[in-house]
Chain A
Amino acid sequence: MRIENAVFLIVLLLAAGFFSYNVQRLLSYLSIALPDDRGGHPLVRLKNVITVAFLQKKILRDPVAGPMHALIFWGFCVLTAGTIELLLHGSFPAFSYDFLPTSLYQFYSISQDLFGALVLGAVAFAFYRRLVLHPERLEGDNLEHSDALIILGAIAGLMVTMFGVNAIELALDPESITRAKPLSFALSMPLRGLPIGLLNGAHAVFWWAHALLVLAFLNFLPYSKHLHIVSSIPNVYFSNSQGPGPKGVIRFLDLEAENVEQFGAADVDQMTWKDLLDGYTCTECGRCTSVCPAHLTGKVLSPRKIIIDTRRRLMEKAPLLLGDYSELAHHALVHGEGDEGSTSATAILEHRLLDNFITEEELWQCTTCRACIQECPVGIEHLDHIVDMRRNLVLMESRFPPEVLPTFESMERNGSPWAFRPDDRAKWAEGMDIPTMAELVERGESPEILFWVGCMGSFDDRSKKISVAFARILQAAGVPFAILGQEETCNGDPARRMGNEYLYQTLAKQNIETLTRYDVKTIVTFCPHCFHQIGNEYPQLGGNYEVIHHSTYIERLLEAGRVPFDTDAGKTLTMAYHDSCYLGRYNDVYDAPRETLRRALPIVTMVEPERTRDRGMCCGAGGGRMFMEETQGKRINVERAEQLLATGADMLAVACPFCMTMISDGVKAKDSEVPVFDISEVVASRLRA
């Protein structure tokens, strides 16, 4: 072993040692977190890793940055093989992959060259994009920018030095097996004939530069957003954002657990390890914020900031909790004692994530539309952070926008978010001959389905027409159904999304008790919030039912030819359908409402707004926003109505009573006469008289 090999081996071991120390340090920070069971379903989770991480499914949703990143990532995977060869070769000169069959080795050589060039091209574009194009979603503070530029510079440096090493090796030995590298071979041409001593010297410089850059970069990871190359694969594996199980289900909170005195999260040590891993994994790419309806309408909420703040707070607090004050000493050394009032351990421990990093205002602006989670390429679940902090606000501190108080109180007293009399719940059905479950049971009958009307359908004047329309369809199709009438209460979704888990569980348990008493098996509802809540979240409390959204149910009836239509096909019209978040992104129901419209109106032309299906924009009512004032920025429903009206459609269709209110108001605000209908109303309008 020559002296430089020995030196390199020592450098290599030191670098590897420091890297593993840092990885261990970051892992130890996760130990301050709460447990979260993310095990089970390994096949689904592996499939997510393959599609989301390795095949870059989500990354490629961005047609510009997508291919750029995919090339760098796939290049990284391919070139890592070369890096390992180079590092081992540097320590043990005899090591090389040339023991492989020649054709395989040549294939390997070509891949290195090819991907080296592709990565270099992609990095050049990335520089151009960041420095010249300035996409809005990459805006951040100086730290975030310098981080990104250092990373791009390092990757470019790695590629340049790799080509340097390869080209010089080929100049020294044009017959080498590595001549299969066409680009390096071309680069080597002008170098041939240079003095061997010079070439050898240059080779050493490039080789050491490359090797040291690899090791420096490796050790830069734990201090930067580039950590995601290590953490994103586990984060995608453990993420529930693509399944297993239904999407968007809020974590169960055991309110009766012994000795639990904290509900929700005000700081990082009250969050789960997955929340903290989200922080490690965030690449600050801003895809989440760029689709956030609150952000797009000029509000302060940025889901990206929520995650970055989680990480920053973790890095500040976790070492202190674990008794490591070195970071603090470092900070004091750099910034001086007492700087920003945060250099003393007490000050840091007195701070918390909520209020000092993330404000109440940001948290209440979220519509829980899941657009951020849908877009995130590394499996971050922003809503877990937001809902957990809302839980702390409501359950621990009783802090929420003042207009929410009557909502909570009404849900408690009247079983609906509005102060309507519970005994008026079935008033919409008067004269329609719709039985209640209680009446059917008395007659010794049981219905095929329970029509879950929901609070909007029971009390909101506009939505009551949807209840009537859907009931008429069921009656025309001869489906035996019943309603709960006064025994129905709010499903609890707004309370749960607003962090009031206590109120939610009270309502949910009451409904489950009622549904169990009547031995209900199948529930159909036209409210996507009721649909998601009862179908996907009631199982946490022991309520298991088949819950079908009316769009799916009507589509099935139409398919089976059970709905008697008038022969008149109506006039030709164009229609734009607005996707409800809780139907679409939460439950992947995109086609049923569209298909229902097409079947009901054979000559309809469906037009799609620019943001549609899993990229559809929220109407602004979700997450309890329906019951809060919207004071900052533009109104979300107006923005969405503009997008829908821009399609030029004659008619807008929705499949959610909350969307109905928001979109109708938005259309009115634009002084437009375009009518808004629920899909069931479109179908009911064609029923044979």
Chain B
Amino acid sequence: MKIAVCIKRVPDMETRFRIAASGTAVDEAGLKYDLSDFDGYAVETALQLNEKQGPGETVVISLGPDVVQEQLRKALSMGAERAVQLKADRVPTDGLSIARALAAELKDGGYDLIFFGRQAVDSANATVGPMVAEMLGLPCATAVSSLDISSGRGTARRDLEGAAEIVDFALPAVVTIDEGMPRARYPSLKGIMAAKKKPLEVRAAQLGDESLTLEKMELPPERAAGRIVGEGPGAVAELVRLLHTEAKVL
């Protein structure tokens, strides 16, 4: 099968973020980047499908400046055959703009499956996958935690709050991958060496106009320190009062 996996470069979410001077981006100094977690699952799912089902090709695609090649190389070192960078100065805030560029790249690629992570762990929009499906006129299964592909059809499980859905669709299709799918494998050195020789094509991203722009970014308010009201049963009345009047949870 020919599978495309669209991946995003994201900062390590364990970092304590600072807002950059522009006020519309995080300060990149000292940040470490990696493949977005869900995108890692997506690459792994594609690789395992092709390993199990015989000859195929896994193509990884990422949109952004040249630094995204680092994540493309990582996917190649995991085992993807080919990579495409859709070159842009920055990743736009507008998902529609990204979807447009990706759809243009994917349209004539002859892919049986197009994978995305459920959402990027940094911006958490979860919009690009479904938008691409819409533009290409393909069925789209989102937040899939288990996937079976056989004889040109897919069956996917979607874990919902308190329930699960099983959906069925014909290929080609767009699938966004959730937890539950296998974790991204650790690239072997052999894979890393092989990745250096694999093709990585660079094309200009056809973003078009942005219909959504980022106005302002701010950090969540600092959490105030806890307060000890008192000790023993005597403090209960005061605690209840504060919960009612200040915290307004009672």
Contact = CB atoms under 8 A, between A and B. Distances in A.
Contacts of A501: 189
Contacts of A408: 186
Nearest to B34: A413
A506 to B, nearest CB: 11
B12 A395 contact: no
Interface residues of A, number: 19
Contacts of A688: none
B32 interface: yes
Given A414-B14, A421-B15, A396 B32 contact: no
B16 A398 contact: no
Given A405-B183, A413-B32, A413-B34, A421 B189 contact: no
Contact of A263 (B16, B34, B186, B190): B190
A37 interface: no
Nearest to A421: B14
A502 B34 contact: no
Interface string A103-142: 0000000000000000000000000000000000000000
B32 A502 contact: no
A396 B15 contact: no
A396 B188 contact: yes
A263 to B, nearest CB: 5
Contact of A255 (B12, B185, B189, B191): B189
Nearest to B190: A396
A423 B189 CA distance: 29
A165 to B, nearest CB: 63
A421 B188 contact: no
Given A413-B12, A419-B14, A423-B16, A405 B192 contact: no
Contacts of B56: none
B154 interface: no
Interface string A387-424: 00000001111101000010011000110000101010
A394 B188 contact: yes
Contacts of A413: 12, 14, 32, 34
Nearest to B15: A421
A395 B14 CA distance: 27
Contacts of A405: 183, 186
A430 interface: no
B14 A263 contact: no
A261 interface: yes
Contacts of B189: 255, 263, 394-396, 501-502
A421 B32 CA distance: 11
B187 to A, nearest CB: 7
A414 B16 CA distance: 13
A272 B134 CA distance: 59
B188 A395 contact: yes
Contacts of B12: 413-414
Contacts of A395: 188-190
A360 to B, nearest CB: 14
B191 A398 contact: yes
Contact of A398 (B15, B32, B34, B188): B188
A454 B187 CA distance: 26
A408 to B, nearest CB: 6
A408 B190 CA distance: 16
Contacts of B185: 398
Interface in B179-219: 183, 185-193
Contacts of A261: 190, 193
A472 to B, nearest CB: 28
A398 B14 contact: no
B12 to A, nearest CB: 5
A508 B189 CA distance: 17
Nearest to A420: B14
A398 B183 contact: no
Contacts of B186: 394, 398, 400, 405, 408-409
A113 to B, nearest CB: 62
A389 to B, nearest CB: 14
A502 B189 CA distance: 7
Contacts of A400: 186
Interface in A501-517: 501-502
A413 B186 CA distance: 13
A408 B185 CA distance: 12
Given A405-B183, A413-B32, A413-B34, A397 B16 contact: no
A396 B14 CA distance: 30
A505 to B, nearest CB: 10
A421 B16 contact: yes
A154 B226 CA distance: 83
Interface string A371-398: 0000000000000000000000011111
B192 A502 contact: yes
A263 B15 CA distance: 34
Interface in A224-272: 255, 261, 263
Interface in A260-297: 261, 263
Contacts of B15: 421
Contacts of B190: 261, 263, 395-397
Contacts of B32: 413-414
Nearest to A395: B189
A3 B180 CA distance: 86
A394 B16 CA distance: 32
A272 B192 CA distance: 25
Q: Taking each of B30, B190, B191, which has the highest tally of chain A beta carbons within 10 Å of its own beta carbon?
A: B190
Nearest to A396: B190
Contacts of A421: 14-16
Nearest to A405: B186
Q: Taking each of B12, B32, B185, B188, which has the highest tally of chain A beta carbons within 10 Å of its own beta carbon?
A: B188
Interface string B79-106: 0000000000000000000000000000
29 contacts: A255-B189, A261-B190, A263-B190, A395-B189, A395-B190, A396-B188, A396-B189, A397-B188, A397-B190, A398-B185, A398-B186, A398-B188, A398-B191, A400-B186, A405-B183, A405-B186, A408-B186, A409-B186, A413-B12, A413-B14, A413-B32, A413-B34, A414-B12, A414-B14, A414-B32, A421-B16, A501-B189, A502-B189, A502-B192
Given A395-B190, A397-B190, 4 more contacts: A263-B190, A395-B188, A397-B188, A413-B14
Interface of A: 255, 261, 263, 394-398, 400, 405, 408-409, 413-414, 419, 421, 423, 501-502
| Cβ-closest 7 pairs across A and B | A395-B189, A398-B188, A502-B189, A396-B190, A398-B186, A413-B32, A413-B12
